[in-house]
């Protein structure tokens, strides 16, 4: 399913490129005809070329704007699958927003798991996030997880740094550890929404002499 989705996205991108190239080629062709028509005093043909070229420019702008708007709406432009050498699961989903105005991206469970009371489990999502240097991804529990299933994040809240992306240990795979604080067994279905990630802007204080670089994954920067 994942490969089919990627192939479909690549086909759409290829078709978009072809359409843009064709439109640009037609615009260049008709623009090259205008000087010749003017020299030949062919007024009707000149006006037709100008009109047709203007129409092509309009559709090119409209099409390009549509592509840009669609790319802005796609939450998956921030999220990627980790490299195959770091994958733990197959057929996983990228995080996505439940509604147009949702603040957080919902993370989906890559496996089916039952948690007994007092038990915790780490769900490795096989997903990494690309962040700017002044951004972080805050992982928090979904309200339905806490209210309906008595589950919480074992670390209460998670914070993904920009340099966690592509680290040597796990390529930036985001892990979500759930803990059952209730008195009944809680079942998590494969594909169920288990947490949400919210991109936030942060302010970096420059610390003199601190040039440390991240190399590992969770807990690699200290205990």
Per-residue DSSP letters for 76-134? GGTEEEPPGGG---SS----B-SSTT-SSEEEE-SS-EEE-TT-EEEEE--EEE---TT
Highest mean pLDDT (candidates 67-76, 125-134, 212-221): 125-134
* Averaged pLDDT for residues 80-99: 93
What is the residue whose two structure tokens read 């067994």? 185
Torsion of Cα atoms, 62 then 63 then 65 then 68, to 10°: 170
Q: What is the pLDDT of residue 64?
A: 60
pLDDT at 169 over 80: yes
Per-residue DSSP letters for 145-175? HHHHH-EEETTSSEEE-GGGTT-TTTTT--E
How far is Cα 206 from Cα 6, in angstroms, rounded to an integer? Answer: 40
pLDDT at 82 over 50: yes
In this predicted model, which residue has the larger pLDDT, 144 or 47? 144
How far is Cα 145 from Cα 198, in angstroms, rounded to an integer? Answer: 17
- 8 A C-beta contact, residue 40 and residue 48: no
How far is Cα 2 from Cα 11, in angstroms, rounded to an integer? Answer: 14
Q: Which two tokens stand for residue 136?
A: 């972080």
Q: Which CATH class is domain 83-201?
A: mainly beta
What is the residue whose two structure tokens read 């962040």? 131
pLDDT at 123 over 90: yes
Q: DSSP 3-state helix, strand, coil percentages of the chain (rounded to 5)?
A: 40, 20, 40
Mean pLDDT of the chain, nearest integer: 79
Q: What is the pLDDT of residue 78?
A: 84
* Averaged pLDDT for residues 160-182: 94
Residue among 175, 77, 166, 168 at smallest CA distance from 126: 175
Domain boundaries, the chain: 2-73, 83-201
pTM given for the model? 0.63
Identify the band that residue 205 occupies on the pLDDT scale cut at 50, 70 and 90. confident
- 8 A C-beta contact, residue 188 and residue 112: yes
In this predicted model, which residue has the larger pLDDT, 4 or 138? 138
């Amino acid at each position: 399913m994942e490969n089919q989705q990627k192939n479909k996205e690549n086909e759409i991108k290829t078709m978009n490129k072809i359409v843009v190239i064709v439109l640009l080629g037609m615009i260049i062709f008709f623009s090259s005809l205008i000087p010749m028509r003017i020299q030949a005093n062919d007024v009707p043909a000149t006006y037709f070329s100008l009109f047709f070229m203007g129409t092509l420019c309009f559709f090119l702008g409209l099409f390009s704007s549509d592509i840009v708007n669609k790319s802005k709406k796609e939450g998956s432009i921030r999220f990627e699958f980790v490299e195959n050498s770091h994958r733990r699961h197959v057929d996983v989903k990228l995080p996505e927003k439940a509604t147009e105005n949702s603040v957080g991206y919902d993370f989906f469970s890559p496996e089916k798991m039952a948690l007994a009371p007092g038990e915790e489990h780490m769900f490795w999502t096989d997903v990494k996030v690309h962040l700017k240097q002044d951004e972080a991804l805050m992982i928090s529990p979904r309200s339905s997880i806490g209210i309906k299933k008595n589950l919480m994040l074992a670390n209460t809240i998670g914070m993904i740094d920009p340099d966690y992306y592509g680290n040597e240990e796990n390529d930036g795979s985001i892990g979500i550890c759930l803990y059952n604080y209730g008195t009944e067994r809680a079942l998590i279905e494969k594909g169920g929404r288990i947490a949400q990630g919210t991109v936030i802007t942060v302010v970096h204080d420059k610390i003199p002499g601190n040039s440390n670089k991240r190399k590992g994954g969770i807990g690699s920067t200290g205990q």
